[in-house]
Amino acid sequence: MAFFRACPAPGADTLIGNGNATTSPLVTIELVDCVARGEADFLRAPDLQPIRLVWDNGLLVTTERLLSAGGGQRSPQPGQSRRIDLRHLTAVVRGGLCLTSSNRLAPHQLTTEIHCADSILKVASAVPLIEQVGVEGKEYLRRQIVWNGDRNFYEDCDVFWMVRNVDPEVSPQSMSFDAWQAHWGPEQENLPSPGGVDWQKPADADRVVHSHLPEDYALAESTEADRNPAIGAAADGRNASFQADRLPPLPALPTAEGPAGADQPD
């Protein structure tokens, strides 16, 4: 299941006269002041579909990932890529932020470029923030991810980047926060905070995620004795995370366990 599924246009895999595949048009998704919650990937791209996702101010709560992207049988056209721009987002992504995967039948992959600022990213314990699976070596795969972060908070992030080969005999390679920060340097990972933030009342982990509300992720105010690091931490002087007063009202949902589902962004 997915909130959005980006698939190549019909005929995009066909060959034209010069032997090249036709080019899939760019899929653009722009969200402002949105909430999405449910038991599904937010954006799924099963093939080499160029994507641009822009999300300014919002809350995402999912048992899965923000992005799950597959590989393709043919090499991508020059200039094709996926780009994700996130600002003032609280993303509770229990399955991780991003997974790109390719295999021997579909070995090719697009570069995925992620720009994330003034946000809080929360994953489940021991789940990688970024995960790649492919047929190539780890250095080749790592060149397919481009990260630009500014003043983000990483809640419960133990593994920031994991690269796995489809060959089970090849050991996976993972990065801690220190290795992640050293890899990108201050130009591409500015003022990150690997520690947690202070919530007014932490969300009940036993509630189905499609019933979670923005107030479940409200930041606790700082006091003289106890400073919440996310308060006033954004580049614009506001709090990291979403601006609650700009989010839409949400319908009341039952909190009891029920059939898994996904709300479309409100």
pLDDT tens column, 82-133 = 999 999 999 999 999 999 999 999 999 999 999 999 999 999 989 999 999 9
Going by the DSSP 8-state scheme, the letter that residue 188 receives in this structure is H
Q: Beta partners for 162?
A: 131, 174
- Give the model's pLDDT for residue 15: 44
In a domain, 251, yes or no: no
Q: Report the distance separating Cα 120 and Cα 92, nearest Å.
A: 8
Whether residue 143 is contained in a domain is answered as yes
Q: Nearest to residue 124, comparing CAs of 178, 62, 177, 175? A: 62
Residue identified by tokens 């070995």 is 107
Q: Does the residue 258 lie in any domain?
A: no
pLDDT band at 252 (very low <50, low <70, confident <90, very high): low
Residue of 18 and 179 predicted with greater confidence = 179
Q: Which residues contact 50 (CB under 8 A, 6 or more apart)?
A: 24, 25, 26, 27, 80, 81, 82, 110
Is 253 part of any domain? no
Greater pLDDT, 196 or 233: 233
pLDDT at 229: 94
**pLDDT, tens digit (0-9, with 9 covering 90-100), for 7-45:** 876 655 544 444 455 567 899 999 999 999 999 999 999
Q: Angle at CA 63, nearest 5°, toward 81 and 232?
A: 75
Q: Which residues have CB under 8 Å from 154's CB, separation 6+? A: 121, 129, 160, 177, 192, 193, 194
**104 domain-assigned:** yes
Rounded Cα gap, residues 54 and 34, in angstroms: 11
Residue 213 structural domain:
2-10+21-246
| pLDDT band at 223; cut points 50, 70, 90 | confident
Residue 120 lies in a domain: yes
- Residue 257 clears pLDDT 70, i.e. is over it: no
Domains contained in the chain, number? 1
Is residue 265 included in any domain, yes or no?
Answer: no
* pLDDT band, residue 264 (cuts 50/70/90): low
Is 259 domain-assigned?
no
